[in-house]
């Protein structure tokens, strides 16, 4: 089998622009809505929303590759990057590294994409790793770079990338293309088209020993941010992580040829879904801020701890609702105290109640906090 990079038309990707036109228009329209919402927030609310979106993206881009980090450490590191936290507690290298990469992407989205930028990102995402030989530089080993699954004696090869000896020339061509296809470039492309092509093109080259996927997603987000002239704050990795197998299936289907309309359609629809998720998340975070303003000073420390834990579940909510047993565990209190605390939260309107007896469940009433 010949892979996309082995074919005579590489890397002259082809696609049907008309099939993407409506999706491109929707992206621009939804971007305008998102920009408007964030623009009218107060400084503290805007920063908190940016921090929450960036933290979620940092966590999810790692989860796609099967890596789990501590959310509080990632957010603490991001807060330091924003100059909001000076606490000297030790944060693990992996959490610091992904936070540094997210901040680089946020602050420098408009800057050119260069070998130096990619090298810095690679060092950041590999912080704390000692199992990779070429950190911050393109892969150098002679063995084929393959994406495989299955048993060792009979592996299924999903993709094979160009040889390491071709990395310098392949990446120069890629970086030239990225510059020329951007706003103000010689051959500018629409936002979703450029973002999707950039991701496919980069991961097809697979220039690094590891972490090509998450750097490829960062490049996609950089392309989207450049298209709208500001950080996109799109939950791209979160959306991909929810349907991870579909993402890998789409990539595998796209690496066998250079007519890529199907890939670009999949990617565009994924970005739009991510954009809608970000808008919903923004509404949720605004409601969260209003909730805390309304009940500030009215909750005891146990109630505060449980409310914070419920909000941490985000848009998906506390699965099945909060039970009295959940409350006892989170608050580390007795059943009698938990019952009294929950009754107070319902009475003041912070929680809604459904069911009876052992089936009683409690839910945040964030839609009642007003604007």
Q: Is the pLDDT of residue 202 over 80?
A: yes
Whether 216 maps to a domain, the answer reads yes
189 & 107 share domain: yes
Number of domains in the chain: 2
Is residue 368 over pLDDT 80?
no
Torsions phi, psi for 363 (to 5 deg): -135, 145
Does a structural domain hold residue 169?
Answer: yes
Closest CA to 131 of 186, 211, 31: 211
Q: Tell me: do 118 and 200 sit in the same domain.
A: yes
In a domain? residue 54: yes
289 within some domain:
no
pLDDT digits (tens, 9 = 90+) for 48-102: 778 888 898 889 888 888 888 888 899 899 988 888 876 667 888 999 999 999 9
Domain final residue, candidates 262, 284, 306: 284
Give the domain-ending residue among 261, 284, 307.
Answer: 284
pLDDT tens sequence across 211-235: 999 999 999 999 999 999 999 888 8
Residue 290 lies in a domain: no
Residue whose structure tokens are 């061509």: 173
How much of the chain, in percent, has pLDDT values that exceed 90? 63
- Co-location of 234 and 301 in the same domain: no
List the structure tokens of 112. 């050119």
DSSP H or E run through 362:
strand 361-364
DSSP secondary-structure letter at 184?
T
Same domain, 302 and 265: no
3-state secondary structure 151-214: CCCCCEEEEECCCHHHHHHHHHHHHHHHHHHCCCCCCCCCHHHHHHHHHHHHHHHCCCCCCHHH
Say yes or no: 270 and 334 in one domain. no
Higher pLDDT pick, 89 / 27: 27
Query: Confidence band (pLDDT; 50, 70, 90) for 1?
Result: low
Instruction: Quote the tokens at residue 77.
Output: 């590191």
Q: For residue 131, is it within any domain?
A: yes
Q: Is the pLDDT of residue 318 over 80?
A: no
Q: How confident is the model at residue 47 (pLDDT cuts 50, 70, 90)?
A: confident
For residue 338, the enclosing domain spans 297-368
Q: State whether 213 and 164 are in the same domain.
A: yes
Identify which has the larger pLDDT, 175 or 319.
Answer: 175
* CATH at 252: 1.10.3290.10
Residue 306: count other Cβ atoms within 10 Å of its Cβ. 26
Over 90: is that where the pLDDT of 114 sits?
yes
Last residue of a domain, one of 221, 252, 284: 284
Whole-number Cα distances in Å, 306 to 108, 291, 340: 38, 14, 14
Domain assignment present for 292: no
Which residue did the predictor score with more confidence, 175 or 289? 175
What pLDDT, on a 0 to 100 scale, did the predictor assign at position 62? 83
302 within a domain of the structure (yes/no): yes
d(CA 225, CA 104): 13
- In this structure, are 31 and 155 located in the same domain? yes
| Averaged pLDDT for residues 269-280 | 92
pLDDT of residue 254: 95
* Alpha carbons 202 and 51: distance in angstroms, whole number: 27
**Are residues 198 and 308 both part of a single domain?**
no
Question: What's this model's pTM, rounded to 2 decimal places?
Answer: 0.84
Taking residues 135-148, report their average pLDDT.
88
Angle between helical axes of 324-331 and 335-347 (0-180°, round to 10): 110
**DSSP-assigned states of every residue in 25-41:** HHHHHHHHHHHHHHHTS
> Do residue 75 and residue 181 come from a single domain?
yes
Poorest-confidence range of 33-42, 54-63, 106-115? 33-42
Distance from C-alpha of 61 to C-alpha of 199, rounded to nearest angstrom: 14
294 CB-near residues (< 8 Å, 6+ apart): 369, 370
Domain shared by 101 and 43, yes or no: yes
Quote the pLDDT of residue 86: 63
pLDDT over 80 at 150, yes or no:
no
In the predicted model, what is the mean pLDDT of the chain?
90
Grade residue 160 by pLDDT with cuts at 50, 70 and 90: very high
Helix, coil or strand: residue 284: helix
State the pLDDT at residue 129: 86
CATH code for the domain in which residue 363 is found = 1.10.10.10
Q: Do residue 70 and residue 137 come from a single domain? A: yes
Is pLDDT at 371 greater than 50 in this prediction? no
State whether 71 and 200 are in the same domain: yes
């Amino acid at each position: 089998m010949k892979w996309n990079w082995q074919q005579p038309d590489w890397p002259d990707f082809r696609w049907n622009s008309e099939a993407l036109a409506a999706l491109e228009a929707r992206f621009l329209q939804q971007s305008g809505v998102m920009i408007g919402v964030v623009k009218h927030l107060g400084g503290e609310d805007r920063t908190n929303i940016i921090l929450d979106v960036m933290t979620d993206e940092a966590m999810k881009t790692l989860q796609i590759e099967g890596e789990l980090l501590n959310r509080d450490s990632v957010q603490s590191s991001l807060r330091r990057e924003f100059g909001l936290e000076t606490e000297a507690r030790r944060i693990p290298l992996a959490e610091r590294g992904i936070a540094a990469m997210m901040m680089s992407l946020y602050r420098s989205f408009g800057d050119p994409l260069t070998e130096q930028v990619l090298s810095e990102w690679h060092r950041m995402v590999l912080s704390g790793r000692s199992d990779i030989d070429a950190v911050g530089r393109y892969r150098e080993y002679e063995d084929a770079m393959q994406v495989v699954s299955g048993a060792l004696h009979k592996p299924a090869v999903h993709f094979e990338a160009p040889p390491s000896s071709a990395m310098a020339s392949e990446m120069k061509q890629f970086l030239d293309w990225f510059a020329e296809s951007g706003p103000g470039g010689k051959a500018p492309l629409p936002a979703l088209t450029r973002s999707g092509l950039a991701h496919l093109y980069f991961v097809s080259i697979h220039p690094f020993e590891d972490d090509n996927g998450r750097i490829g997603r960062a490049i996609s987000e950089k392309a989207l941010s450049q298209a709208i002239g500001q950080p996109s704050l799109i939950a791209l990795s979160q959306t991909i992580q929810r349907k991870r197998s579909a993402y890998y299936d789409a990539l595998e289907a796209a690496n066998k040829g250079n007519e890529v309309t199907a890939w670009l359609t999949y990617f565009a629809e994924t970005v739009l879904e991510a954009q809608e998720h970000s808008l919903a998340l923004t509404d949720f975070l605004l409601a969260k801020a209003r909730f805390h303003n309304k009940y500030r000073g009215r909750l005891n420390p146990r109630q505060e701890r449980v409310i914070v834990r419920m909000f941490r579940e985000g848009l998906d909510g506390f699965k099945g609702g909060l039970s009295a047993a959940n409350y006892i565990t989170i608050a580390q209190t007795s059943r009698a105290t938990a019952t009294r605390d929950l009754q107070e939260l319902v009475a003041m309107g912070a929680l809604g109640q459904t069911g009876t007896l052992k089936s009683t469940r409690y839910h945040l009433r964030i839609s009642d906090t007003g604007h």
